[in-house]
Amino acid sequence: MEWDKSASLLLEKVPPFVQKIVREKVETLARERGKTLVTEAEVVAAKDRFMGKSNMQATPAKKLIDNEKLSTLRKYPKYFDKDGNPVFYQVKTCRGAEINCPFLITDSGILADKIRKRLEELNFTEKLIDKIEGQILPHHTMKLAVSGCPNSCSMPQIKDFGVHAVESVYVDPDCECIECMKCVETCREDAITVKNGQVSIDKEKCVHCGLCAKVCPVGSIKAEEKKYRVMIGGKVGRHPKFALDLLPQADESMTLKALDVCVDIILSSKTEHRFRTLIEQEEIDKIKKRI
């Protein structure tokens, strides 16, 4: 039995190991209806009958348009989940927790999972499909990255939305420095000086990695609460640009709020420019005020 284009595309989304069974059930239902051509209607009806789901798909016309929009992206598996559903955001993480990295401040996977969940709650993929006219291309999708420390192995500086963990430190005057110089030796930024038992940290050089606090044996240098540096608008390509600093130190809730604002900028824009262009049009200071 022949299948039309929309029905075939739905069958492709079914896991390979059950496609044969699904095809047989759909074609059985089609024959019962006196059909010689399987359409999307038969696929939906078959799922309703055998799985008890009545709201599987949108209308046939809209689904067909959507699938034509996705034709280019179907060449790249990363834009689809294991069930074949489009996912137009990629969140890259570092391997710090996996390899027990000595520089790790916090597991990047924890925040990354919450970012994915928030984008799912915001229906980002569905709204992007509705927003864009014509085919959706790779540069339309949102690139994100989370790193567990300022080393930024997941390259958040070149993503639309990039985050790396930070751990600011301060000098505790109540803890006497023993001048072991471990903090000076550990600091890669040459941001620490010790003289006559007095510790000084150059905040302009400090990248808030927290390593000096970890090696201090007496607590002269202590770490503050772990937070995140949020950057937006990074891009590669012909004219690469590093992301702009949005929030130098943000807690988890503030980071997710920043994500909400960025998603709104993308989805509410009347143009289809790259995210960096949209940021430059709106201006970074105005975006900060929205958070």
Q: What is the pLDDT of residues 212-229, one digit of tens each?
A: 999 999 999 999 999 999
- Identify the band that residue 91 occupies on the pLDDT scale cut at 50, 70 and 90: very high
Q: What does the alpha-carbon distance between residue 288 and residue 291 come to, in Å, rounded to a whole number? A: 6
Q: What's the Cα-to-Cα distance from 286 to each of 219, 248, 279, 281, rounded to whole Å? A: 40, 16, 9, 10
Whether residue 92 has pLDDT greater than 60: yes
- The CATH number of 59-164+227-290, from 3.10.20.30, 3.90.245.10, 3.30.413.10, 3.30.479.30, is 3.30.413.10
Signed CA dihedral, 54, 56, 58, 64: sign only: negative
Q: What does the alpha-carbon distance between residue 128 and residue 130 come to, in Å, rounded to a whole number? A: 5
- The CATH number of 1-58, from 3.20.10.10, 3.30.70.20, 3.40.50.150, 1.10.8.550, is 1.10.8.550
The residues facing 80 across adjacent strands are 86
Q: What's the Cα-to-Cα distance from 133 to each of 49, 86, 122, 172, rounded to whole Å? A: 34, 16, 20, 58
Q: Torsions phi, psi of 284, nearest 5?
A: -60, -35
The pLDDT of residue 117: 96
Q: How many CB atoms lie under 10 A from the CB of residue 174? A: 6
Which of 257, 253, 241, 245 lies closest to 290, judged by CA? 257
CA-only gyration radius of the chain, Å? 26
How crowded is the C-beta side of 264, counted as CA atoms within 13 Å? Answer: 10
Place of tokens 């994915």: 116
Domain covering 167-225 assigned CATH 3.30.70.20 in the classification: yes
* Contact (CB, 8 A) for 172 and 222: yes
Apex 136 CA angle, 241 and 113, nearest 5: 65
pLDDT single digits (tens) 9-37:
888 877 776 677 788 888 887 777 777 88
pLDDT single digits (tens) 108-139:
999 999 999 999 999 999 999 989 888 899 99
* Contact (CB, 8 A) for 188 and 202: no
The pLDDT of residue 57: 40
Per-domain residue ranges of the chain: 1-58, 59-164+227-290, 167-225
